[in-house]
Amino acid sequence: MAELVIENISKKFMGKTALDNVSLTIHDKLFTTIFGNAGAGKTTLLRIIAGVEKPDKGKIYLNGKDITTFLPKDRNVAMVYQSFALYPHMTVYDNIANPLRARKMTKSQIDEKVNQISKSLGIQELLSRYPRELSGGQAQRVAIARSLVRDADVYLLDEPLTNLDYKIREGMREELKKMCKDFSATLVYASPDPLDALAMADRVAVMSDGKLLQYGLTRDVYYTPNDITVATIFGTPPINILKAEAREKDGHLFLETPLFRTDVTKYKERLSPNKEYKVGVRPHHLAISKRKVEVEMVSFPAEVHLTHVVGAETICYARSNSEEITIHVPYIYRMEGLEQVYVYFDPAHLLVFDKDTGLRVT
């Protein structure tokens, strides 16, 4: 049972705010991702949880106990660093064994634990090597092994995959997720990559400039972002944002964008006529067709000028009425020169934000 409560944590470095009144509760046995761009304060938050940095303000509770002033070694949290932070003068075995030795375990206990964790991470053959003799992926596994080898209440992982190449990252995501389940561990995982969160996290906390913007189930945060910032940063490729204006006609309320017009009468209470908004639609909610088809969907013509195939999927960059649109289709799409297409989407996926406050209104 591990519940980590972060309460009103603030931290400044030389007058610059790194964390601004952050509060969230990390739940037991869940995979929680702290998501945010570079400099958002993710690492700082993890380091404060680990106890290697002191917050200026706020408290941290672990299982109901106030651990704000505890030394790192008394907190029973484990951490994996973005830079791996392996001890260069120790073998892989000694690296992994170090936390256990610090806890004064017997030799045989240590041996057993190290072997067990290295088997599950597939690094048994590496045990006698030194960190400089490891590839990036291997080093990362060792770093993860070193933290997972302990029975910590909470495991903190700071961008453990950022330094790895794309292929390995994909594989590691699967493994981490599996490990979280297998070990029934409470993981806090910091990452600037929305895919990490989307692929693995039960819950995600979106941060920007030291502020916690939104915290909730990953699905909820993704589909119903609180505001336009969360919508923009949390998702890849980034969401399409268009200017829009609400207009009333014949008792119906429409949203008009430079590309399309859609009926939003059912949101009448939340939208005011003749007011400007911003609307967003995620690239993978858009579909394309070379011919115009009649469906219960919003559609508009566009011209695809660039495609980018990722795996078996394609990201298409299109232009319509001088607006740039990104479309993510789940198949390989090859264009032959500029192509005129029709773009479709379900208006239910449309996110409407207040133009001034950026808050989501639908």
Partner 1 sequence: MRKLNPGLLMSIPTLLFLFFWFFFPFLYNIYASMHYWTLYNPNIQFIGAENFIDVLSSIDFRNSAFASFFYTIICFAVELPLGLGIAVLLSREFKGVGIARVIIAIPILMIPIGTSIMWKLLTMPKLGLLQYFSEVLGFGVIDFYGNFWLASLLILLIDAWQWTPFFAIVLLAALVSLPREPYEAAKVDGASPFMVFTKITLPSIQPVMVIVSILRVLDLLKLADPIFVVTKGGSGTETLSAYIWRVAFKPLDIGYGGAVAVLYWILMFVLANILVRRFKSVIQ
Ligand X SMILES: Nc1ncnc2c1ncn2[C@@H]1O[C@H](COP(=O)(O)OP(=O)(O)OP(=O)(O)O)[C@@H](O)[C@H]1O
Tell me the C-alpha distance between 97 and 75, whole Å.
19
Residue placing its CB nearer to ligand X in the complex, 162 or 320: 162
Residue placing its CB nearer to ligand X in the complex, 13 or 87: 13
**By the rule CB under 8 A, 88 interacts with partner 1:** yes
* Dihedrals phi, psi of 95, to nearest 5 degrees: -60, -50
**By the rule CB under 6 A, 58 interacts with ligand X:** no
**By the rule CB under 8 A, 113 interacts with partner 1:** no
Tell me the C-alpha distance between 64 and 58, whole Å.
15
The DSSP symbol for 234 reads S
Residues near 294 by Cβ (< 8 Å), separated by ≥ 6?
Answer: none
**By the rule CB under 6 A, 38 interacts with ligand X:** yes
**By the rule CB under 6 A, 42 interacts with ligand X:** yes
How are strands ordered across the β-sheet holding 4-13? 16-26, 4-13, 57-62, 65-66
**Do 141 and 122 contact (CB within 8 A), yes or no?**
yes
Considering only residues 248-307, where is the footprint of ligand X by CB under 6 A?
none
Interface pick for Mg ion out of 6, 22, 41, 43 (rule CB under 5 A): 43
Of 38-46, 89-97, 227-235, 348-356: span binding Mg ion (CB under 5 A): 38-46
* Dihedrals phi, psi of 255, to nearest 5 degrees: -105, 125
Residue placing its CB nearer to Mg ion in the complex, 138 or 191: 191
Tell me the C-alpha distance between 255 and 258, whole Å.
10
Contact flags string 13-52 toward partner 1, x per CB under 8 A: ----------------------------------x--xxx
Which region, left, alpha or beta, applies to residue 63 given φ > 0 means left and ψ of -120 to 50 means alpha?
A: left
SS3 134: coil
Residue placing its CB nearer to partner 1 in the complex, 113 or 328: 113
**By the rule CB under 8 A, 109 interacts with partner 1:** no
**By the rule CB under 6 A, 188 interacts with ligand X:** no
The two three-digit tokens of residue 248, written as one number: 């009333």
**By the rule CB under 6 A, 40 interacts with ligand X:** yes
**Do 28 and 2 contact (CB within 8 A), yes or no?**
yes
Tell me the C-alpha distance between 160 and 140, whole Å.
7
**By the rule CB under 8 A, 150 interacts with partner 1:** yes
Of 8-16, 68-76, 160-168, 315-323: span binding partner 1 (CB under 8 A): 68-76
Q: Please give the residue ranges that form the binding site for partner 1 (CB under 8 A).
A: 47, 50-52, 71-73, 75, 77-79, 81, 83-90, 98-99, 102-103, 146-147, 150
Q: Please give the residue ranges that form the binding site for ligand X (CB under 6 A).
A: 13-14, 18, 36, 38-44, 192
